[in-house]
Amino acid sequence: MKKIKLSELNRISVEEFKQSSKTPIVIVLDNVRSLNNIGSVFRTADAFRLESIYLCGITGTPPNKDIHKTALGATESVSWKYLKKTKEAISFLKENNYLVFAIEQAEGSISLSEFIFPSSKKIALVFGNEIHGVDEEVMKQVDGCIEIPQIGTKHSLNISVSVGIVVWELFKEFYKI
């Protein structure tokens, strides 16, 4: 077995990325504190060609050296916008026909393993603060809640890991991989 060289991967350019069709998923970060987590989310959004990222509240924004450290340039390819309040982002997305789902442990949540990607719709996924999760006021606005099944002793995953797991599962379902 031989590793593939970067030059053999046939990666598209940033400009080609911007012009390409996107996976109809928007990530909303609700008061995420860790700049490294934010950078990792950018990299995941680039890997799966997501529509965009909404950075809300105290969530850091590019340009920032700590975001750049983990994003590795994905802040240049992935579309993003900052909104002071997550509730504003949710309202805007709903007005533009997105279904909005929090990724959280909540009453009535749908297990990620049972969630069916609404193929005729665009969706937004809200990921919350590393300590407090998705804000309660934001939870009142979402269309539903998706929960990542866990069987260990901890009750949560790092946000960048959660984004990777959820996006990969929805990507597979959307593209029928």
68, two tokens: 């750049």
SS3 at position 146: strand
* Residue 118 confidence class, pLDDT cut points 50, 70, 90: confident
Say whether pLDDT at 63 is over 80: yes
Q: What pLDDT is recorded for position 130?
A: 92
Residue 10 has a pLDDT of 87
Share of the chain above pLDDT 90, in %: 90
Q: Shortest CA distance to 102 belongs to which of 50, 147, 159, 151?
A: 147
Residue 5 is classified by DSSP as P
Q: Can you give the pLDDT at residue 123?
A: 97
Whether pLDDT at 119 is above 80: no
Number of continuous H segments (helices) and E segments (strands) in the chain: 7, 7
Sorted by where each begins, the domain ranges of the chain are 21-174
Mean predicted lDDT score pLDDT of the chain: 96
Cα–Cα dist 39/110, whole Å: 27
* Res. 14: pLDDT tops 90: yes
% residues pLDDT > 70 (the chain): 100
Predicted local distance difference test score (pLDDT) of residue 155: 85
Output DSSP code: residue 30: E
Question: pLDDT tens-digit profile of 30-55?
Answer: 999 999 999 999 999 999 999 999 99
Per DSSP, 114 falls in state G
Asked if pLDDT for residue 58 goes beyond 80, the answer is yes
Which pLDDT belongs to residue 70?
A: 97
Phi–psi pair at 88, nearest 5 degrees: -65, -40
CATH class for domain 21-174?
Answer: alpha beta
- Give the Cα separation of 107 and 131 in Å (integer): 19
Q: What is the pLDDT of residues 73-114, one digit of tens each?
A: 999 999 999 999 999 999 999 999 999 999 999 999 999 999
